[in-house]
Amino acid sequence: MNESNQESQIHPNYKKAADLIYLSGALGIGNVIWMYDTLDNGLKIFTALISVGFVFGIGYLVSKGTEWIKFLLAVILFLGIVGIPFVIQNLENNTVVGIINILQTVLQIWALILLFKIPKKRNL
């Protein structure tokens, strides 16, 4: 199967979901820029880069039609729900960061919904 034929078989929701995840990653970059003064050592910079890179990596896998990534995203979002007190604290301490965190969560939930709406492939 050639590459263009394979791409045409990828459900459109993968592309839409990937775009939402990439937008979430872009917001993450915005968060890093907004909070640049907190990146005062190498470990914090490394953690920020890995976090943003991880989001873009998920977006890449989604864009390629990787079916299992929706389960990983679901687990990560579930674990993120545990961090809601942290988001509330961010809203109180730094409203911009808190709003960006909420927007990222909404985008990722939207992407996850799109991924789970993709019908399962049937082998004929």
Domain assignment present for 1: no
Domain assignment present for 83: yes
Domain range for 81 is 11-116
Tens digit of pLDDT per residue, the chain (124 long)? 445 555 558 999 999 999 999 999 999 999 888 888 878 888 988 998 999 999 999 999 999 999 999 999 999 988 888 877 877 887 888 888 889 988 999 999 999 999 999 998 755 4
Domain assignment present for 100: yes
Domain assignment present for 123: no
Domain assignment present for 70: yes
Q: What's the CA gap between 124 and 105, in Å, rounded?
A: 37
Domain assignment present for 48: yes
Q: What's the CA gap between 39 and 65, in Å, rounded?
A: 35
Domain assignment present for 4: no
Cα-Cα end-to-end distance for the chain: 17
Question: Into how many domains does the chain fold?
Answer: 1
Angle at CA 108, nearest 5°, toward 41 and 6?
Answer: 110
Domain assignment present for 40: yes
| DSSP at 118 | S
